[in-house]
Structure 1
């Protein structure tokens, strides 16, 4: 992904928090997290039970997410189904806290969590 202006990417917007907004509101859990590159919304990945990152794209049309996992810097375009190994630097935290449980958050993940994953 080019470092120049990209539709659906606003590098000045920080992430909405450390976890999936909707899962936190509902008391749910997630497997991995994705950050909307346009508005900063943090949602859970498509392997997670609720798939909130994709739901955010469908509701808003915001086309690009960045991994919100420690050590990952890739972007995904929902419009083109393309992955980019890197892209513009985004404001704020680049991942959830390193010590945060995966899956997470601690205390809300069921013992049989693997059964809840989408594959």
Structure 2
């Protein structure tokens, strides 16, 4: 997590309802969010349902993607595992589309860019 600030991200469950999740904008950034089937705003006709990641994944509308991210090269290379929530409709395509995208991990001034090198649906 690069900041302690959270921002709203929305995942549609049907044409009239969307989950509202509070997520880290440095991880769920403008490159990553659309691939996961989420947006920064509701559609005009949608109502929001506040949800946690646990609630959103339990009902079958969302899945968790397990991602390996890396930074650095050679002996300075580091890898980590992170989990991202994804709309179930994007679960087939998102893992391959995430490869090469970056997320910011760390806190405040120590936050650095990490590249997604692999991803798969957890479970």
Question: How high is the TM-score relative to the length of structure 1?
Answer: 0.26
Which structure has the larger Rg over C-alpha atoms? 2
Higher strand share: 2
